[in-house]
Amino acid sequence: MLTFRTFCLSLLALFAWPLAQAADTGTTRPAQWAQPVAAHYNLYRISPTLYRSALPDSGAVPLLETLKVGTVINFLPESDASWLQAPGIKQVQLPYHTNHVDDADVLAALRAIQSAESDGPVLMHCKHGSDRTGLMSAMYRVVVQGWSKEEALNEMTGGGFGDSSHFKDGIRYMMQADVDKLRTALANGDCSTSVFATCSVKSWLETVSASKPAN
């Protein structure tokens, strides 16, 4: 387990890297990082099948259709129905907060992304496209694409997605996340890495209930 001192030193290193990069005017954006598509919506292309952004509006729909987005995943408590009326774009809502995030939230998001990618490119968003979307983007990089935590955190904090001071909760979660357990749970279809998680207990109770013979 990381000591508090090690944790603080790790944070300092992670935040120092983007600042050093910004000071070097000759440095270009790493090609493997998410690439900008539309600054107005803080919209970036993570991969050929995954985009990230701030909360879009109805004006973004033609752009999403041009990008052939088939699913929009929303991390906010408010529905996208007020601005997204396109019948060809599915809506998935998975609200969460980075200061209360757990493995179940991450697995639900990653599983939703992977499931939706079969129907075309996916856009995931929160309000500003920085903290909630940033954490799930970083976890996608690590768990699905095989990036190191350091690589993913460098992109998250130095990629120009928002004020890096907002990322402390996401960084805290990533630093303690067990990537191997998350990969295993994702592959097995488990809702969490812990059998004691609320969703795991609920699933177990439903299985027990279904196995009981009818009276």
Confidence of residue 197 (pLDDT cuts 50, 70, 90): confident
Residue written as token pair 């990082």: 33
For every residue of 133-167, DSSP letters joined together read HHHHHHHIIIIIT---HHHHHHHHHHSSSS-GGGG
> What pLDDT score was predicted for residue 163?
85
**What's the fold here for domain 4-211?**
Protein-Tyrosine Phosphatase; Chain A (3.90.190)
pLDDT value, residue 165:
78
The phi and psi torsions of 73 (rounded to 5 degrees) equal -105, 125
Give pLDDT tens digits for 23-44.
333 468 999 999 999 999 999 9
Backbone angles phi, psi at 203, to 5 degrees: -65, -40
Decide if pLDDT at 7 tops 90: no
Q: Are 163 and 130 in contact (CB under 8 A)?
A: yes
Find the mean pLDDT for residues 205-209.
Answer: 57
Is 134 in contact with 156 (CB distance < 8 Å)? Answer: yes
Q: pLDDT digit string (tens) for 157-183?
A: 999 999 877 899 999 999 999 999 999
Give pLDDT, residue 23.
36
pLDDT tens digits, one per residue of 49-87:
999 999 999 999 999 999 999 999 999 999 999 999 999
